[in-house]
Amino acid sequence: MSGQIDTIVWDLGGVLVDWNPLFVYHEQYFQSPADRDYFFSQICTSDWNEQQDAGYSLQQATADKLAAFPDKKWQQPLFAQLSLYRYQLYQAFLFLLI
């Protein structure tokens, strides 16, 4: 093994890795299923995530959302999103070492 990376696999459709935000965002983050549904439909939306995929800083995007939704009940799930992103980067890095 030369240590040189010759292949990169992007799993953009959840084919290799099954992903659902409910795997991470369970009851401890929300007071009710209605709060959880609101979070994903109004705060942590697909459009918002796509902005980060396009290069917008997740730290800035999180700060923007915290300013737009100052209620403390949204702070924990938003910070979890930031932590989850860092964890995913770490996992991708480890995968590249294999």
Which tokens in the block code for residue 89? 């980067």
Q: Is residue 16 part of a domain?
A: no
Does residue 15 lie in a domain region? no
What pLDDT is stored for residue 2 in this prediction?
63
The whole-number pLDDT of residue 88 equals 59
- Joined together, the tokens standing for residue 41 give 């439909």
Say whether pTM exceeds 0.85.
no
What pLDDT shows up at residue 46?
85
Structural domain contains residue 60? yes
Answer whether residue 10 is part of any domain. no
Identify whether 65 is part of a domain: yes
In the chain, the number of structural domains is 1
Range of the domain at 30: 21-97
Residues of the chain predicted below pLDDT 50: none
DSSP the chain: --S--------SSSSSS---GGGTS-GGG-SSHHHHHHIIIIIS-HHHHHHHHTT--HHHHHHHHHHHS--GGGHHHHHHHHHHHHHHHHHHHHHHH-
Residue 78 maps to a domain: yes
Instruction: Output the pLDDT for position 10.
Output: 75
What pLDDT score was predicted for residue 38?
92
Tell me, what's the pLDDT at 64? Answer: 92
